[in-house]
Structures are given as structure tokens and as C-alpha cells.
Structure 1
């Protein structure tokens, strides 16, 4: 009944729960980075497939709250506006997720660590992508990148944030778009990894367990949102992600 949770030492389960609390706090405070923190944090001491399985249900549950917060009409408007990007992302995600079971764990750690590290570095450096014209082509190319990343690591946030910023999406519209895109990605991630076998009767209880600390963290983060220095907190979080991403790459390269 407990699946892999029954095999997990209590100390590691407690550590994973604390990471989920922090990931939820960040999601509640700044609106993104939950799957990146979960996968990079738990992946630092758990097998890569366990770390990936663990983030699936908390990510879906949290994105249901964020994605439908503005109502069905606003959500549908996002789908229509970004339909090419969304369809590309979901299609590539569905295919890439089926390859996870065939990828050696060392390679999987690198595939998870690289996008986390790249995102942290570009954000710390203040680099911003700017795109003009040929929007449909950009949507397809960046959608493919996001789909590959999410299929292997469950993290589609970095390319989505960069794309919305690059086309000059207004802040409120960008937050709404992120919520809907993340929600649709979460649904596809669930379906894809039910098929791939990453999420099954052994790993599902573990993923369900992490929903509670994530939601507690989101509630606290939401309360703290208006009282914290957003820029400083975001910068600190990016350094944490950078260290975690580099550690994942180290695990993949050196074991």
C-alpha cells in the first residue's frame, strides 16, 4: 500500500517532505519553480525515477489552483492565444516521457540537472531573450524544447517564462498564461507517465504524500507574498536551484 515509501528511510522521507514544503512556499510566493525545486531537491538523494514520480501529482494539484483561478473563460482565452505553443509542448512531452524508462539513470540526472542549472544561470545573469516576428516558428521551436524538458524532468517553466518574456507579454497576462500552460502540461505529464510506468501503484502513494506539504507551503507562501522582498527572495532561490542543478549533473557524471 505504501509502495516505495515503505522502502524509503524515515530520514529521507522527512527531508523530501521539507523540500516539498519549501517548493510549495516558493510557488505560493512567486508563482513558479515548484517542479524544479522538487526534482532537483529530491533528486539529490533519491533515484531519478522516484524524484520524477514524486513531483507529478503535487504539480498537477497546485496548477489546478493556479490555472483555473481566473475562471474557465480566461483559461480558454490563453489556450486560443498560445495554441501552437501548447500543442507542440504537449505532443513532444507525451513522446519524450515514454523514453524515460529507457534512459540510463546517470544520463537522466544530467538531463534533469542541465535545464535547472541553465535557467538559474541565465536568470542570475539577468539575461533576457527578445523575439521579433515569425512568432509561430518561435512557438514551435521553444515548444519542442519545453516538451523535451518536461518529458524527462517535469519542468517546463524555464522555456515558458523565457518565451512569454521574449514576446513582451504583460505581467498579469503572463501569470495567467503560465497557470494555464502549466495546468495542461501537468495533465499530460500525468497521462504520459501513467503510460510510461514512472507513476504506478508503487510510486503513486509517494506522489500523493507530497501534495499535503506542498499545499501547506503554498498557503504560507501566499500569506508571505506581500511582506517579503520579492527580488531578493527570487535571487536567493535561484542560487539554491543553481547548486541543486549542479549537484544533479555531478551525480550523473561522477555517480
Structure 2
């Protein structure tokens, strides 16, 4: 049983890394979504956490905009850390079984927003206070599901970051959020030696998938790939939420 589990980990992170290499994000979202089919979100996040941190640190220092990003996004990042701490018991607490339902719903929302290309603009004078509120909500959702794209991603798209600056900003934000989650997992005793081997396999496969995705990025139209990826996320989200609700009623 152990070997098929490691094969599942390898295949999941090869695909999740490939998505990140092509579209610039999605490693935690894809890997959490796929792993949550076979395990609780807390266990999945314990495996996801190291590859997510390492790949996001790599993305953080992949551009020249770090100082400006920190200046503009510090309220979002601070709010996210606060939200993660406020909801720190959700993954391992008595309501942890509902995390998969929330994750499924969030995947559907995230995909629909991406498919409809819904956009709005936030005036610079409002960035900080809106960013702080968005961060708290993102942190609380992230603490329950391990996914940090809602509502942080629409917010970052709305403040006028250029393409390459947004790519680097995603790395900075996800690094901070994932470190906050790692602290929660450590306190809950979910990060242990048992996650070392799956985490190492996940890390290697994430980079292999990411470099493959980057190599194919010039040959593949990212918008076409992203559209089919988002459609698949809707199907996966519906399955996860529906299956979790069904199992909860049986319990």
C-alpha cells in the first residue's frame, strides 16, 4: 500500500508543478484538490507544505520587484497571517471534516472567476485597508483548506500589477501564507518524520513538473491550457464537495 501512495504523490506533484510552470500558480490548489480525494485536507497539506514553500521562495526572488511588492502588499500578507492564526484549529479540530467541502466549493469559485475573467479595479488610496480585510478572509479560508487563492488572487489582479510583477507577487504572498500554515501544522503535530519521504518526493516532482511546464510554455498557449485546467477544477471541486457531504451524512 505504501508504494502506490508514493506513486500517487509523485503523479500529483508532477502535474501540479507542470501547471505552476505553465500558468505561474496552482501548485497548492491542484495538489490539495487531488490529494483530498484520498486523504483529509490536514494530511494533504502536511505533504504539500514543503514543496509549496520552496517553489514559492524560488518564485519570490525571480524578479526585480520585491521591494515594491512588499510596500504594496504588506497589509494583505499581515492580514493573511492574522486570519491563519484566528482559524488555526480548523484543519485538525472537530470541524476538520468540513474542510473538504469548503475546499471543493472554493475550487469551483476560483475556476468560475478565472473562466469568466471577472476583473475589477481598486484605487491606490484604498489598497491598504481593503488588502488587510482580504488578507484576514484569505487566511481564515487557508487555515481551513490549505488553499490561498480566494479572495487574494482577485485582489492582486485588481490593483494593477504588471504581468511579471504579478508573477513575483504571487510567490511573495504564497511564501508568507504557506509559512503561516506550516506554523499551524507544527503546533498541531501534523508535521512529523512520517511526512519526510512523501514531502521529499513531492518536492522533486514539483520542480520536475515546473521546469517541464516552463519548457512547454513557449509552445503552448497559456490561456488555452488555463481554460481547460479551470474546467477540470470545477469538476474536481464538485466531486470533492459532493463526496464529503455524502460521507458526512453517512457518519
Q: What TM-score do you get using the length of structure 1 for normalisation?
A: 0.89
CA–CA distance in structure 2, aligned partners of residues 137 and 98 of structure 1:
26
Greater mean alpha carbon deviation, residues 148-157 or residues 215-224: 148-157
Give 1:19 deviation, angstroms. Answer: 1.4
Q: Which residue of 1 aligns with 2:209?
A: 217
Give 1:9 deviation, angstroms. Answer: 4.2
Alignment deviations for residues 61-116 of structure 1 (CA, whole Å, 9 cap, x no partner): 11111012226xx3233212211111111121133233321143431111222211
Q: Which residue of 1 aligns with 2:95?
A: 104
2:251 is aligned with 1:251: no
**Counterparts of residues 66-105 of structure 1 (less than 5 Å):** 66-70=59-63, 74-105=65-96
CA–CA distance in structure 1, aligned partners of residues 41 and 150 of structure 2:
20
Q: Which residue of 2 aligns with 1:113?
A: 104
2:178 is aligned with 1:186: yes
Alignment size in residue pairs? 246
CA–CA distance in structure 2, aligned partners of residues 106 and 47 of structure 1:
7
Task: Return closer, same or farther for 1:103/1:79 CA change in 2, 3 Å cut-off.
Answer: farther
Q: Which residue of 2 aligns with 1:53?
A: 46
CA–CA distance in structure 2, aligned partners of residues 198 and 239 of structure 1:
32
**Counterparts of residues 1-255 of structure 1 (less than 5 Å):** 8-70=1-63, 74-132=65-123, 134-255=126-247
Q: Secondary structure of 1:202's match?
A: helix
Aligned CA-pair RMSD: 1.8
CA–CA distance in structure 2, aligned partners of residues 188 and 208 of structure 1:
20
Q: Secondary structure of 2:218's match?
A: helix
Give 1:155 deviation, angstroms. Answer: 1.5
Give the unaligned 5+ runs of structure 1. 1-7
Give 1:194 deviation, angstroms. Answer: 0.9
Give the unaligned 5+ runs of structure 2. none
CA–CA distance in structure 2, aligned partners of residues 76 and 193 of structure 1:
29
Q: What TM-score do you get using the length of structure 2 for normalisation?
A: 0.90
Contact 1:39 1:52 in 2 (8 A): yes
Q: Which residue of 2 aligns with 1:3?
A: none
Contact 1:106 1:253 in 2 (8 A): no
CA–CA distance in structure 1, aligned partners of residues 80 and 151 of structure 2:
10
Q: Secondary structure of 1:100's match?
A: coil
Alignment deviations for residues 229-254 of structure 1 (CA, whole Å, 9 cap, x no partner): 11110001101111111111012200
